Chain A
Amino acid sequence: MADYYFKTRDLKVGYHGRALLENIRIDLEKGEILTLVGPNGAGKSTILKSITRQLEILGGRVAVGGKKLTELTYQELSRKMAVVLTDRVRPELMTGHDIVAAGRYPYTGRLGILSREDERKVEEAMELVNAGGLGKCLFTSLSDGQKQRLLLARAICQEPEILVLDEPTSFLDIRYKLELLDILRRMAKRQGITVVMSLHEIDLAGKISDKVLPVKAGCIYDYGTPEEILREDFIRELYGMDRGSFDPVFGSIELPRPGGEPETMVISACGRGIPVYRRLQKEGTPFIAGILYENDIDYQLARHLASRVIREKPFQEISVKVYEEAREAAFSCKKVYYTEIPWGTANARLRKLLEEVKGEAGIECTGLQEQLC
């Protein structure tokens, strides 16, 4: 137990002596990534500010590398911990290189002049975040994403053992988001750097983190693995979501399903139904999906978007009961969309149902093979 590199016990954080969050317990080994998730204003930044000593801790303990945070001098701490903050930095007349080079602060002499070694480290850090070309540009003239990458390079340059980042992915486009998380992942696993950060994207949180700590003002949650924490019901509770949904399998979020009585049915399989669901969702048309096997990829999305899903257990022949249910549903609809479906003995009843629907004059039946393939 004593091996944990970063530890908090009974940590109490808040502003002006008033506690916002209490009893925070974190244990992290070297090279682990902890992500703080939670709604806006939940106190993620407050925790990060407290563990980086930007904010006075109101109670409890924080230990870094076996030493209490309060016993470390700022100088000692600066060699262990580097930060990337959300504070808007507006330094005038400083180039990208100047900003990154500032990260060498704990290692340079009295006047802060860079040695050859320092210059090399600055260069490496800039290469790592693909910011080599930004070195000569004025920092204030860069885009938010470019600034963010330079600030990350600055933190890397500081050669920390633990890196604390407050919403590092905001302002970044999808490419740099992935790149940034990939860099963090590599630094954590190869160099054993512990990472603590807050993320807005719960989907990404699940994909990069070893541990996730849910944060919500006034609530106490325990940290856990992404699999333990990022469950659909829990995410709904954490964010107070009553509309839309979160899919823990792919970490995707969906807008709420269209309301009303469904008059449209989609018959599909093997992912071909997904674009149809999406289109109907955007049009605001409620629909029934089926018959879907529970292991079909269409089923994963239909669960979130369809008003009703008629399903069958995987690898089973479609039972009469399910067939009857689907038939009843289909004949209550005015429109049926169907996609290409690989036919076999197990889904013979679905084929039969489709033929019946096609033969029914009262139902407008549209095949979507051509458009979709």
Chain B
Amino acid sequence: MTEYSFHYENVRRRGRYAFVFTVMILALLLMAVININTGPVKISLKEIAGILFAGQTDGTEYDIIWQIRMPRILMAAILGGALSLSGFLLQVFFHNPIAGPFILGISSGAKMVVALTMIFSLGSVGSMSSLAMIGAAFAGSLLSVGFVLLVSRRLHNMSALLVAGIMISYICSAVTEFVITFAEDSDIVNLHGWSQGSFSGMSFGNVRVCGVIIALAFLAAFLMSKPIGAYQLGEAYARSMGVNIRVFRVVLILLSSIFSACVTAFAGPISFVGIAVPQIVRLTLHTSRPLIVIPASFLGGAVFCMLSDLIARMAFAPLELSISTVTSVLGAPVVIWMLVHHCINS
């Protein structure tokens, strides 16, 4: 009985996974319904059902639902998932539970390059295509990652890595602020709103581009579950099990950068989701198995961002908070708790 008890344990664990996934999917649906039903313009549930399912195509309600609320909800879900997954991949990469795109300065790098591209090459913010935005953000992400990698090669210390990330974050923000100071007025307004982080003003065109890129990246990340699992045992063991570490690390960084680039390009830098969500998900599932944690992190990130967006929109309506304000308030305590917990354990 005791000798084989890990079988029972495995069965028990599967039950737990199924339960957590079910709860998260229900939460996702609930969030979608609440989000769609909430806003300055009251639309009854019946009308919403009519617009969504019965093909009702006229009136401002139709436009509000399809042009404003739906893209926003979808974007919050997709980008939230992407952000959370980006954090998870970085945590795997650095063997560091407190790594994330925001804290390592990757979001700030992306923001800087997007801001520079907007101001210098295109003149006005509105004219930039979705793909160009993502491209610029991706370049910025890689720039920051490159710097952090350089530092991490010399310092194998968890806190030193974070300090390096925070430093690059400050440098990038300084550069961004600097160019904004000298930019045209109309640019500043747009840039300012964007650089605070928000899911507002999304179109279905944005959703489509983001959806496709993130779906592909998600699939790639999911297919990497196996080597990620091996890598969790440490580089040397992973290599001995047949993982080509050099290729693996490059792919991991590229995927993580794609995720955070998409987020930053459309919603601006969003803090703490990348650290807090994967951690909560892991603890809830009580496992690190990437095969489970990757989809769960994505779902969790989606729910978390939809909730945060709801709070951002509604807490002080008609004033709208920036999304980072909400995610920080929700996420930072989790990170602080993790830091304390981690120090006690080690």
Q: Are B233 and A91 neighbours in the complex by a CB distance under 8 Å?
A: yes
Given the interface contacts A93-B288, A97-B10, A112-B291, does A132 sit within 8 Å of B242 by beta carbon? no
Which B residues are in CB contact (< 8 Å) with A123? 4
Q: Are A96 and B291 neighbours in the complex by a CB distance under 8 Å?
A: no
Task: Tell whether A336 is near chain B: CB-to-CB under 8 Å.
Answer: no
Task: Tell whether A18 is near chain B: CB-to-CB under 8 Å.
Answer: no
Which B residues are in CB contact (< 8 Å) with A103? 241
Tell me the nearest residue of chain B to A55, going by C-beta.
B236
Which residue from B5, B8, B225, B226 sits with its C-beta under 8 Å from A133? B5
Task: Tell whether A99 is near chain B: CB-to-CB under 8 Å.
Answer: yes
Which B residues are in CB contact (< 8 Å) with A102? 229-230, 233, 237, 241
CA distance A103 to B241 in the complex (A): 7
CA distance A94 to B3 in the complex (A): 18
Number of A-B contacts (CB under 8 A): 98
Which A residues are in CB contact (< 8 Å) with B97? 92
A117 smallest CB distance to B (angstroms): 15
Q: Are B223 and A97 neighbours in the complex by a CB distance under 8 Å?
A: no
CA distance A54 to B237 in the complex (A): 9
Which A residues are in CB contact (< 8 Å) with B243? 74
Q: Are B232 and A78 neighbours in the complex by a CB distance under 8 Å?
A: no
Which B residues are in CB contact (< 8 Å) with A136? 5-6, 8-9
Tell me the nearest residue of chain B to A134, going by C-beta.
B6
B38 smallest CB distance to A (angstroms): 36
B291 smallest CB distance to A (angstroms): 6
Which A residues are in CB contact (< 8 Å) with B223? 110-111
B231 smallest CB distance to A (angstroms): 10
Which B residues are in CB contact (< 8 Å) with A54? 236, 239-240
Task: Tell whether A105 is near chain B: CB-to-CB under 8 Å.
Answer: yes
Task: Tell whether B14 is near chain A: CB-to-CB under 8 Å.
Answer: no
Task: Tell whether B22 is near chain A: CB-to-CB under 8 Å.
Answer: no
Given the interface contacts A96-B6, A102-B230, A111-B225, does A82 sit within 8 Å of B240 by beta carbon? yes
Q: Are B9 and A94 neighbours in the complex by a CB distance under 8 Å?
A: no
Which residue from B10, B225, B233 sits with its C-beta under 8 Å from A112? B225
Q: Are A87 and B237 neighbours in the complex by a CB distance under 8 Å?
A: yes
Task: Tell whether B234 is near chain A: CB-to-CB under 8 Å.
Answer: yes
Q: Are A85 and B236 neighbours in the complex by a CB distance under 8 Å?
A: yes
**Which residues in chain B, 275-319, are within 8 Å of chain A measured between CB atoms?**
282-283, 286-289, 291
Residue of B3, B226, B241 with most chain A CB atoms under a 10 A cut-off: B241
Task: Tell whether A52 is near chain B: CB-to-CB under 8 Å.
Answer: yes
Which residue from B9, B282, B345 sits with its C-beta under 8 Å from A95? B9
Which B residues are in CB contact (< 8 Å) with A132? 2-4
Tell me the nearest residue of chain A to B289, going by C-beta.
A98
B17 smallest CB distance to A (angstroms): 13
Given the interface contacts A87-B236, A92-B282, does A111 sit within 8 Å of B241 by beta carbon? no
Task: Tell whether A113 is near chain B: CB-to-CB under 8 Å.
Answer: yes
Which B residues are in CB contact (< 8 Å) with A93? 282-283, 286-288
Contact with A along B217-231 (1 / 0, CB 8 A): 000000101100110
Q: Are A81 and B240 neighbours in the complex by a CB distance under 8 Å?
A: yes
Tell me the nearest residue of chain A to B238, going by C-beta.
A105
Q: Are B242 and A77 neighbours in the complex by a CB distance under 8 Å?
A: yes
CA distance A95 to B12 in the complex (A): 13
Task: Tell whether A214 is near chain B: CB-to-CB under 8 Å.
Answer: no
Q: Are A85 and B237 neighbours in the complex by a CB distance under 8 Å?
A: yes
Tell me the nearest residue of chain A to B244, going by C-beta.
A74
Q: Are A108 and B226 neighbours in the complex by a CB distance under 8 Å?
A: yes
Q: Are A106 and B242 neighbours in the complex by a CB distance under 8 Å?
A: yes
B238 smallest CB distance to A (angstroms): 9
**Which residues in chain A, 231-246, are within 8 Å of chain B measured between CB atoms?**
none
12 cross-chain CB contacts under 8 A:
A77-B240, A79-B242, A89-B233, A97-B6, A97-B9, A99-B233, A112-B225, A123-B4, A132-B2, A132-B3, A133-B3, A133-B5
Known contacts A74-B239, A135-B6; can you find 15 more A-B pairs with CB under 8 A? A76-B242, A79-B242, A85-B237, A89-B234, A92-B97, A95-B6, A102-B233, A105-B230, A105-B241, A112-B229, A113-B291, A123-B4, A127-B3, A135-B9, A140-B345
| Smallest CB-CB A-B distances: 3 pairs | A135-B6, A78-B242, A112-B226
